[in-house]
Chain A
Amino acid sequence: MTASLFKAAAREQILARLAALGVVLSLLEASFPMPLPGLKLGLGNMATLIAWVLLDFRAAIWVGILRIFASALFLGHIFTIGFMLSLAGGIASLALLSLAQILPRKYFSLYSFSILSALAHILGQMFCLWIWQFPVSLLAWMLPFLCLFALLTGVINAYLILKILGTKP
């Protein structure tokens, strides 16, 4: 019993550390000036994916949601529109990742999951803006550019994660 208790504690500890990492990355990212309001590097998402790799998908969901709330507290924008967008993006990306579990691991590595996650994040935000009756023409105009950028950040983030985890080629 004691052993399992310690094991659980170890898991929670890793989870909490990853969430903290996600918060730090989100704060770091918030300090980068971006040319368009929708453009984001998605650094915080790295913590979510690392949680999936090191623990399991449940842990990824925890880290993904926790870091959004915690970083919003630090940034002081909790429950504002920006926060709602980031929450919508986070939920969308977790949802797509859970659907993407069916992809055969033989052909699809972390790169695919990172790309899908980044793409779902921006699509979730766009959906949220669409619900709020943001001018559709503007959204449609921005969407392909934002998606292309998401593909790019997806690849870069996957590469960074692999480097952080010390993956051998």
Chain B
Amino acid sequence: MPPRLSLRPLSGDYLLLIVLALACLLGMVYLHQHAAPTEVEIRARGKTVAILPLKFDRQIEVVGALGVSVIEIKNRRVRIAQDPSPRQLCVQQAWLEHAHEAALCLPNQISIALIGAPQNYDSLTF
């Protein structure tokens, strides 16, 4: 049976829209509360090669499909400092500092993404 045509939305339409919109908004709030980045996830050729804390400044080299990428962590930010990908898109993205930001070097199959640390304990009190 084809859908009913009515220029004015029906009650079910409003209900569906409101429920779905609320779900989206709740999702946003939830994600923002869990949004402070504490770690960077580095992936190369489909595998997670390292999850490093942003606390400590350091540089690491990761081997991708084309060659070596240099990833730099500094002042709680992270960037891909060098990469052999031809268009250098991920290098030009420069510093990532907000949660869930990511830089992808597709030709070299390397990506970095800022993530929040998994919370293993609700609280630690005695």
Residue positions of A touching B, CB distance < 8 A: 49, 52-54, 56-57, 101, 103-113, 115-116, 119, 133, 135, 137-138, 140-141, 143-145, 147-148, 151, 155, 159, 162, 165, 167-169
B1's partner among A105, A165, A167 (CB-CB below 8 A) is A105
Whether A107 lies near B113 (C-beta < 8 A) is: no
Q: How far is the CB of B6 from chain A (nearest CB, A)?
A: 4
Whether A141 lies near B99 (C-beta < 8 A) is: yes
Residue of chain A at shortest CB distance from B46: A133
| Given known contacts A52-B3, A103-B12, A111-B9, A138 and B20 CB-to-CB distance under 8 angstroms | no
Whether A53 lies near B102 (C-beta < 8 A) is: no
| Given known contacts A119-B20, A148-B21, A155-B17, A110 and B27 CB-to-CB distance under 8 angstroms | no
Residue of chain B at shortest CB distance from A108: B12
| Given known contacts A119-B20, A144-B27, A109 and B6 CB-to-CB distance under 8 angstroms | yes
B25 at the binding interface (Cβ < 8 Å): yes
B8-31 CB mask vs A (1 if < 8 Å, else 0) is 111111011100110111011001
Kindly state the separation between the CA atoms of A162 and B2 in the bound complex, as whole angstroms: 13
Q: Can you report 18 residue pairs joining A to B where beta carbons are below 8 Å apart?
A: A49-B3, A53-B3, A54-B2, A106-B12, A107-B10, A107-B13, A108-B12, A109-B10, A110-B3, A111-B10, A119-B20, A137-B114, A141-B99, A144-B31, A145-B24, A151-B17, A155-B17, A168-B7
| Given known contacts A107-B10, A135-B113, A138-B100, A167 and B5 CB-to-CB distance under 8 angstroms | yes
| Given known contacts A135-B41, A151-B21, A110 and B114 CB-to-CB distance under 8 angstroms | no
Residues of A within 8 A of B46 (CB): 133
B108 at the binding interface (Cβ < 8 Å): no
**A interface SS class:** helix
Residues of B within 8 A of A119 (CB): 20
B87 at the binding interface (Cβ < 8 Å): no
Count CB-based A-B contacts (< 8 Å): 113
Whether B100 lies near A140 (C-beta < 8 A) is: yes
Residue of chain B at shortest CB distance from A132: B46
Residues of A within 8 A of B25 (CB): 144, 148
Kindly state the separation between the CA atoms of A88 and B17 in the bound complex, as whole angstroms: 23
Given contacts A107-B11, A138-B113, A167-B6, 16 further A-B contacts (CB under 8 A): A53-B5, A57-B2, A104-B12, A106-B12, A107-B12, A109-B6, A109-B10, A110-B4, A116-B16, A133-B43, A135-B111, A137-B41, A137-B102, A144-B25, A148-B21, A162-B7
Kindly state the separation between the CA atoms of A109 and B11 in the bound complex, as whole angstroms: 9
| Given known contacts A112-B16, A155-B17, A145 and B5 CB-to-CB distance under 8 angstroms | no
